[in-house]
Amino acid sequence: MSEEVAAKRLKISPPLIGTHNGHFHADEALAVYLLRLLPTYTPSNLIRTRDPTLLSTCHTVVDVGGEYSPPTNRYDHHQRTFSTTFPNHSTKLSSAGLVYMHFGKPIIASRTSLPADSPEVDLLYEKLYTEFVEALDANDNGISAYDPADTINLKKRFHDGGVTLGSLVNDLNHEWNDDPLHEQPPGHGNGTSLVKGSGPEQAQADEDARFLKASSLMGTTFLRKLSYYHLAWLPARTLVQTAYKNRFSNDPSGAIMVLDGGGVPWKDHLYTFEAEDADAPKVLYVLYPESPNEGAKWRVQCVSVTKDSFESRKPLKEEWRGVRDSELSGKSGIDGCVFVHASGFIGGNLTKVGAMNMAKGSMLS
C-alpha cells in the first residue's frame, strides 16, 4: 500500500479511542461514552491498553498516558502536575470531567437541538456538571464531599449500602478471586464467564465487554439526566421565576410563592433565584395544586433551610401537625383542611384560598 493511499485511508477512518485496560472506573466509562455521542466519534473503535506504542496510534486517549493536551486529544489526569478544574468549581477533574469540559456543550446541543451558543445550553452545561459529573471527578480523585474537619465526630445513623454509580461500575469488574482464563462455576462472579482454556486474548475481550457494559450504564444515566434537565427542569425555571417575582402579590411579606401548575420542580430554581437576590426576604411556603385537573386539591409546602436539608424554615403550626380533615379545620378555623404532616413540612386543603390561609396562619405563629 502506497503512503498516499495509507494517508487517505487514515483521513477517512473513524478516530480510534484509547483508554487503559485492567480495572476500570466510572470516569473513563463515561468519558468514552460521551465521545461516542459526537458524530466524529460515533463509529469509533476502542482499544484498551497501557502499551504506549499502541496508544500512540490512537486519535484520542482518555485516563491513561500521563498527558493532558487538548490539541493532541490526550485527556489523562493522573500526572503529578495536573490540577485542572471545571470553570467556577474547585474539584480536580477526572477523565470524565475533562472530556465533558471540552465536549459537553456540543454534546448537549446535538442531543437537544438547541444552538450551541444559547443561554439554555450554558445552563444545562453547568447543571449537568454540578449535579452529575463533578461527583465522579471527586470520587476518582479521592476527594470527600465534606471537609474532613467537619466530619470528625460525624456518625451514620444507618448503613446506606454505599450504592452509587461508581460502585455499580466497580461491580462489573472481575472479582478478586475470578480466574479470567478458566471457566467459572455457575453463579460465580457477576454474570460473565469464559470457556475453559481460553487464552489472554479472550480474557481481554471479556474484560472489554464488561467495560462496555459499564460505559453504557454511565452513558445512559447521563442521557436520562440530560433529558430531565432539558425537558422538565429548564421549562420549570421560567415558571418558578415568574412565581418568584409575583410573590409579593400573595402577601406583602413576600414569604408565600404560588405555582399554578402541579408537579413543577421548583426547589432548585427557588434557591438559585434567592441567591441572586440575596437581600430580599426568603420564601417560607410554596403553594401548588396536586394535579392539573379542575377542582384539584392544593398543597402548602414549607421551604427547607437549604436545598439538601430536611429542616423547614418555618414549619406549619405545631398544633395542626398529624391532624386531618374536619378536626384540622376545627383546630385551625380554616375551611377545607385535608391534612398536615406530622413533621409540619407540608399540608393540604381543598382550595387555593384554604391553602393560602394555612400558610398565612403558620407564618404569623
Check residue 2 and give its pLDDT. Answer: 37
Check residue 234 and give its pLDDT. Answer: 97
Per the model's pLDDT, the better-predicted residue between 37 and 190 turns out to be: 37
Banded model confidence at residue 181, pLDDT cuts 50, 70, 90: low
Q: Which of 261, 210, 225 is nearest to 240 (CA)?
A: 261
Q: Are 316 and 302 in contact (CB under 8 A)?
A: yes
Check residue 185 and give its pLDDT. Answer: 47
Check residue 262 and give its pLDDT. Answer: 85
Residue 3 has pLDDT above 90, yes or no: no
pTM: 0.84
Check residue 87 and give its pLDDT. Answer: 97
What are 209-265's pLDDT values in tens digits? 999 999 999 999 999 999 999 999 999 999 999 999 999 999 999 999 999 988 999
Check residue 222 and give its pLDDT. Answer: 98
| 200 CB-side CA count, 13 A | 3
Mean pLDDT of the chain: 91
Kindly state the percentage of the chain with pLDDT values over 90. Answer: 80
Q: Cα–Cα distance between 231 and 180 in angstroms, integer?
A: 43
Check residue 199 and give its pLDDT. Answer: 81
- Please state the rounded mean pLDDT for residues 321-327: 98
- Please state the rounded mean pLDDT for residues 59-82: 98
Q: Which long-range contacts (CB under 8 A, 24 or more apart) does 208-215 make?
A: 208/21, 208/46, 208/48, 210/24, 210/172, 210/173, 210/174, 211/24, 211/29, 211/48, 211/172, 212/46, 213/172, 214/24, 214/26, 214/29, 214/169, 214/172, 215/29, 215/30, 215/32, 215/33
- Please state the rounded mean pLDDT for residues 25-36: 98
What are 116-154's pLDDT values in tens digits? 999 999 999 999 999 999 999 999 999 988 888 877 777
Q: Which of 338, 254, 333, 327 is nearest to 290 (CA)?
A: 338
Residue 281 has pLDDT above 60, yes or no: yes
